[in-house]
Amino acid sequence: MNVSTELGGNAPFVVTADVDLDAAVDGAMIAKFRNSGQACTAANRFYAQELPTDSKGNFFASTVLTNVPPDARIIHEEILGPVAPIVHWRHENELLRMVNESEQDLAAYVHAGDLRHAIRLGEAIDAGMVGINRGLVSEPSAPFGGVEQSGLGREGACDGLHEYLETQYLAVGWPASWGRSSHR
């Protein structure tokens, strides 16, 4: 029996110093606040290179927390709400250590001015899906799923279909007589 699960995420959103800040803010708004921040692929932790509101009823207003320490509890748990904690980083190895210490690795986001640098960072981040200079990471034509504690297998696209199929290998010994044609 095949199983495919999606178990939530704790997506980092990385911003480098050379980024187009307006584009990064647009991407962050989409990655964090679409569906009121209640999406498993929502950016949860914001890492910006060195560069409380009123709630009523069942709604919590969008909130940005600045100068959050890297070891703060909010950095290590899935928020599922419109709260964006920001941690500052200086060196890339420090960033990757902080980003990759999560075990909830469904999605991640990287915004940078240098596309090659953004791709290099994306490849170094432990996540099933990485949005490079964009705030949406999932789409129907792409496989959807995480690594570590954020799921098992993939859904969507061709990879998702493979989760529900069984591969069968047939090893056949062909009789020597089958190699000769009886029709001359």
Q: Which residue has the higher pLDDT, 32 or 168?
A: 32
Catalytic residue among 40, 50, 78, 92: 40
The answer to whether 148 is a known catalytic residue is no
* Interval 69-87 mean pLDDT: 89
The pLDDT score that the predictor gives to residue 68 is 94
Q: Which of 6, 50, 101, 166 is catalytic?
A: 6
Q: Is 101 a catalytic residue?
A: no
Average pLDDT over the chain reads: 85
> What is the rounded (10 degree) CA torsion for 67, 118, 18, 72?
0
CA distance 144 to 137: 9
Q: How far is CA 14 from the centre of its chain?
A: 12
> Does the pLDDT of residue 75 top 50, yes or no?
yes
Helices (H), 15-153: 21-33, 92-100, 115-124
In this structure, the chain runs to a length of: 184
pLDDT value of position 9: 84
- Whether residue 47 contacts residue 24, with contact meaning beta carbons closer than 8 Å, is answered with no
State the pLDDT at residue 108: 92
**What is the reported pLDDT for 52?**
40
Between 165 and 181, where is the model more confident? 165
163 has a pLDDT exceeding 80: no
Tens digit of each residue's pLDDT (9 = 90 or more) over 20-68: 889 999 999 999 988 888 888 899 889 988 874 455 666 667 788 999 9
**Which of 50-54, 60-64, 89-93, 157-161 ranks highest by mean pLDDT?**
89-93
pLDDT of residue 165: 79
Q: List Cβ neighbours of 111 (8 Å cut-off, separation of 6 or more).
A: 13, 14, 15, 16, 19, 23, 24, 27, 28, 118, 133
Alpha carbon dihedral 30, 85, 60, 11, in 10-degree steps, equals 50
Q: Determine the average pLDDT of the residues in 86-104.
A: 93
Q: What per-residue confidence (pLDDT) applies to 59? A: 63
pLDDT higher than threshold 70 for residue 158: yes
- The confidence score (pLDDT) of residue 53 equals 46
Cα 32 to chain centroid, rounded: 12
